Amino acid sequence: MSWTLTAADLPDLARGATLLGTGGGGDPYIGQMLVARVLSERGIGDRGITILDPDDLADDTFVIPTAQMGAPTVMIEKIPAGTEPTLALRTLEAHLGRSADATMPIECGGINSMIPLIVAAETGLPVVDADGMGRAFPELSMETFAVYGVHGSPLALAGERGETVIIDTGDDDRQMEWLARGVTIRLGGVGHIAEYAMSGADVKRTAVPRTLSMALALGRAIRVAREEHRSPFEAIAHTLSTTLYSEVRELFAGKVTDVERRTTEGFAKGRATISALDGTGSGSAGASGGTLEIRFQNENLTAHRDGELVAIVPDLICVTDIESGEPITTEGLRYGQRVRVLGISTPEMMRTPAALAAFGPRAFGLTEEFVPVESARALV
Amino acid sequence: MSWTLTAADLPDLARGATLLGTGGGGDPYIGQMLVARVLSERGIGDRGITILDPDDLADDTFVIPTAQMGAPTVMIEKIPAGTEPTLALRTLEAHLGRSADATMPIECGGINSMIPLIVAAETGLPVVDADGMGRAFPELSMETFAVYGVHGSPLALAGERGETVIIDTGDDDRQMEWLARGVTIRLGGVGHIAEYAMSGADVKRTAVPRTLSMALALGRAIRVAREEHRSPFEAIAHTLSTTLYSEVRELFAGKVTDVERRTTEGFAKGRATISALDGTGSGSAGASGGTLEIRFQNENLTAHRDGELVAIVPDLICVTDIESGEPITTEGLRYGQRVRVLGISTPEMMRTPAALAAFGPRAFGLTEEFVPVESARALV
C-alpha cells in the first residue's frame, strides 16, 4: 500500500533515522532541511512524496537507489547543494539508457533516509519503502542487495561542482566501494551516488522491507511518548515489536567519560567510554556500575560491558539521551552526556552466513564472533 | 602523408621516446614489448600500423587519444596486460555513442608513445602523428590540447581487473587529473585512459605535430651514429635542426653522485646530482667542473649548474649515457653513471603565456621563471 510523506513528517523521520543510524550514517537533520527546502521550492510540502510499499512493485519496475557517501564528520561541515543526488541519478540513467520509475534508500539510517526524498521532490519520482542495509553501514558493499545477488555497478557519483564519475567493477562491490571512496576523498570527503539499479522483483528479493516507514514510526513514537510523559524507551520497544527488529535490550545507562575519534581514509573511527553514574543515578535499568565501551567506524560496531561483549554489528547499538530517548550520533557524543544505550536485533536476512560475511564482525576487521543481542547476558 | 610503422621500428622509437620522456613518461621498452607481442599475435608485424600525418586529417575525423597514467616507478613493477588501453577506448566510445576513426598519443615521451600503437594493433585503427605534450609531463591537464581549447573530459579509465571509470569534470582539466589520479592510486598505481576526444580540425589546431615520427627519427639517428662510429650527440642535433625543437645545448657531462627519489601521491619526485669527472674526463664539452643538480616530478623539471639555472620546464632536460647517447630515465639513474645532459628547446606553441600557465615552472610549484634553454648562459 503506497502512502504519502509530507513536510510535516520530516522531523519524526529524521529522529527515527538517527536512531537506526547507530551513531553514523550522517546527520539526517541536515538532510531534513534539504528535503524541506526542495519541497517548499516546488510548493509540494503538503502534497508530499509518494512512498511505495515494496510488495506493490511490479516485477519490471526499474528502481535506482540514491545516497550520499563520505565521512559524517565531513558531511556536517560540507552541506550539499541539494542537486548532486539527482545529478547522480540522471548520470546513471543516461549511462544505462533507461529512466528510473522510482528511487530508494540504500541505507535507512542517518542522512541516507533523506537523500532519496530530495531526489523524489526534485524529479517527481516515488520512493520505495525499503533499503539495503536495514540500518547504516560505512561501506557501499555492505548491502543486502549484494548479499542476495544484485550488484552495485555501474555506480554514478556526482560532486558539488557538477563533476560526474561512473564506476563499473562488474560483480566486485568491494572494489567499487574502494574506487568510489577514493573519488569521494578527492571531492573533499562527500559524494552523491546512484547505484544498485534493480527491478521490482529484485527489490522484493533483496531489500530490507518497510524501513522508511519504520524510521518514521520510531521517531513519531519517541516524540509522542515525550509529549504524553510516557517512557520513550517503552515506545521504541512497542513500535519495534511488530517489525522485523523485534528484540530490544537496554545495554547500559551512564555518563560519557571518554570519546576518541579521528577521520581517516574517509571514515570516522574511534571509541567511546560510558561510565556508570554515581550512586543510583543510572536510571530505570539500574545499571550495575562499571563501564560500557563502544567502538565505531562511522557506525557503532561493538559494545563491551565491563569487558564482556553485549552487542555487535550487524545488530544495532544505539546511544540515546538517558531521559528523552533522543538518539545521539558519534559526532554528537560529548564528555559528560548522560546516555542510555540500546541493543536492537536485526532481521534474519541480515544474520545469514552470507550477510555476516558482507557486514558481520569480520568485515570490519573485528575478531569477535557475531552473538545475537537477544542472547547476550541480560543486564537486568 | 601517411606512413607505416612496423615491428622493426619499435626499438628506435623506444629510444627516441625515452629521450623525449626527459627522465619520465614511463619505460617505453616495456611498451615496445607489448606492441611487439600484439603485432605478433595478430600476425601484422610486417604489415604494421598506419600512421597519419595530422595535416592529412579531414576536419570531421574523430580521434580518441589513449595513454597510461601512473608513477613510472610503479609501471616498471606492474606490467600491463595490454588490453586495458583498448578497454578504455571502447568505454569512451560507448559513453560518447561514437566510434573513433583514429587514436593518438597524449604524450610522445616514454611509454605513452607506445600505448596508442597497442590500441592500433588490437583495433586496426590508425595513429595520428602528433601529441599534446610534445615531450612527457606528469599530469593529464598539461596538454596543448587543453591550452588551445580542447578539454580532457569525459575521460575513460580502465584497470587490470576490467574495472572501468568514466570521469566528467567539464572544462576543469585539473579536477579531471585530480580525480583520475585518485582512482589510479587505488588501482595500485597504474591506469589506462582514453581522453581528449577531438575532431581532425581540433588536432590540427591544438596538437604538437609529427612528434611520433620525430621520436623515431631521433632513436634511429642515435643508433646509426653509433654503428658508424659518429657522435650520437651531433646526430641528435642534426635530426632536431629541421624540427620545431631546433635548439640543442649540452648542459653538463659528469658522474651521478647522488639520487634521491620517492613515490608519493602517485608521482616519483626527487633530485639528482651530477658532478664533474676528475681531471679532463668530462668529454667533448669540456665541463667546467662543479655540479649539475636536476629536480624531477616523474620528468626532469630544472637543471642548475653550480647553482645557476640553465634549463627549466617545459624545455627538455635529457640525461644520456656520456658516450653512447642512450637516454636514461629517472628510475634508471644510478650512482657512478657517467652521463651527458642535454637541454632541448620546445616548440613556440609550448612557450606561450597560456602554455606556460599549464605546464611552465609555476604549474610545478617552482619559483623560477621560464628561461629558454637557448638563452641560458652557454657552457662552452
pLDDT, tens digit, for every residue of B178-215? Answer: 999 999 999 988 899 999 999 999 999 999 999 999 99
- Interface contact flag, B183 A182, Cβ < 8 Å: yes
Could you report the predicted ipTM of this complex, rounded to two decimals? 0.86
Nearest CB to A186; choose among B164, B168, B179: B179
Matching CATH topology for A3-209 and A246-375? no
Dig out the grid coordinates for B343 from the structure.
637541454
Which chain B residues contact residue A168 at CB under 8 A? 163-165
* Inter-chain residue contact A165 with B170, CB threshold 8 Å: no
CATH number of A246-375: 2.40.390.10
Give pLDDT, residue A76.
57
**Contact (Cβ atoms closer than 8 angstroms) between residue A297 and residue A20:** no
- The answer to whether the CB atoms of B165 and A179 lie below 8 A apart is yes
Instruction: Report whether A112 contacts A80 (CB < 8 A).
Output: no
Kindly determine whether residue B163 and residue A182, on different chains, have CB atoms separated by under 8 Å. Answer: no
Q: How far apart are CA A302 and CA B232, in angstroms?
A: 69
Q: Domain limits of chain A?
A: 3-209, 246-375
Residue B155: closest C-alpha in chain A? A165
Q: How far is B13 from chain A (nearest CA, A)?
A: 35
**Per-chain mean pLDDT for chain B:** 92
B12, B317, B341 from B372: Cα distances, Å: 28, 12, 16
User: How confident is the model at residue B286, as a pLDDT?
Assistant: 46
In tens digits, chain A (380 residues) has pLDDT values of: 899 999 999 999 999 999 999 998 887 888 898 899 999 998 987 889 999 999 999 999 999 999 999 865 565 556 666 789 999 999 999 999 999 999 999 999 999 999 999 999 999 999 999 999 999 998 999 999 999 999 999 999 999 999 999 999 999 999 999 999 999 999 988 899 999 999 999 999 999 999 999 999 999 999 999 999 999 999 999 999 999 999 999 999 999 999 998 877 767 889 999 999 865 444 444 445 799 999 999 899 999 999 999 999 999 999 999 999 999 998 889 999 999 999 999 999 999 999 999 999 999 999 999 999 998 765 54
Question: Are A164 and A157 a contacting pair, CB within 8 Å?
Answer: yes
Asked if A164 lies within 8 A of B167 by C-beta distance, the reply is: yes
pLDDT at B282 over 80: no
Q: Residue A150 class from Cβ within 10 Å (0-12 exposed, 13-18 middle, 19+ buried)?
A: buried
Tell how strand B3-5 and strand A338-344 pair up. Answer: unpaired
Residue in chain B nearest A162 by alpha carbon: B169
Find the residue in B nearest to A170 (Cα). B163
**For residue A66, which of A125, A12, A22 has the smallest C-alpha distance?**
A125
In angstroms, rounded to a whole number, what is the distance separating the alpha carbons of residues B243 and A190?
48
Interface test with chain A among B139, B166, B176, by most A beta carbons within 10 Å: B166
pLDDT of residue B101: 98
Among A130, A14, A13, A111, which residue's Cα sits nearest to residue A70? A111
The closest CB to that of A166, out of B166, B185, B186, belongs to: B166
Q: What is the pLDDT of residues B162-182, one digit of tens each?
A: 999 999 999 999 999 999 999
- Is A162 in contact with B170 (Cβ distance < 8 A)? yes
B31-86 confidence digits (pLDDT tens): 898 899 999 999 887 889 999 999 999 999 999 999 999 865 565 556 666 789 99
Per-residue pLDDT at A268: 80
pLDDT confidence bin for B298, thresholds 50/70/90: confident
Query: How distant is the Cα of A186 from the closest Cα of chain B, in angstroms?
Result: 6
- Orientation angle between helical segments A211-227 and A10-20, nearest 10 degrees: 110
Strands B127-128 and B49-52: parallel
Q: Nearest CA of chain A to the CA of B67: how many Å?
A: 19
Which residues of chain A are at the B interface, by a Cβ-Cβ cutoff of 8 Å?
Answer: 95, 161-170, 172, 175, 178-179, 181-183, 185-187
What element of type H or E holds A5? strand A3-5
Which phi and psi angles does B121 have, rounded to 5°?
-65, -35
A127-170 confidence digits (pLDDT tens): 999 999 999 998 999 999 999 999 999 999 999 999 999 999 99
Whether the predicted pLDDT of B287 surpasses 50: no
Query: Which band of pLDDT confidence, cut at 50, 70 and 90, is reported for residue B18?
Result: very high
- Please give the share of chain B, as a percent, with pLDDT higher than 70: 93
Mean pLDDT of B238-249: 96
Task: Select the residue of B95, B169, B186 nearest A179 (Cβ to Cβ).
Answer: B186
Residue B28 is predicted with a pLDDT of 84
| Mean pLDDT score, B310-324 | 97
Amino acid type, A329: T
Q: Show the cell assigned to B67.
A: 595513454
Say if residue B289's pLDDT is above 90. Answer: no
Least confident among A119-123, B247-251, B308-312, B329-333 = B329-333
- Chains A & B: contacts with CB separation below 8 Å: 59
Whether B279 has a pLDDT exceeding 60, the answer reads no
Q: Which CATH superfamily is domain B3-209 in?
A: CV3147-like domain (3.40.1610.10)
Name the DSSP letter for residue A245. -
- B58 close to B52: Cβ distance less than 8 angstroms: no
**Rounded to an integer, what distance in angstroms lies between the CA atom of residue A257 and that of residue A277?**
10
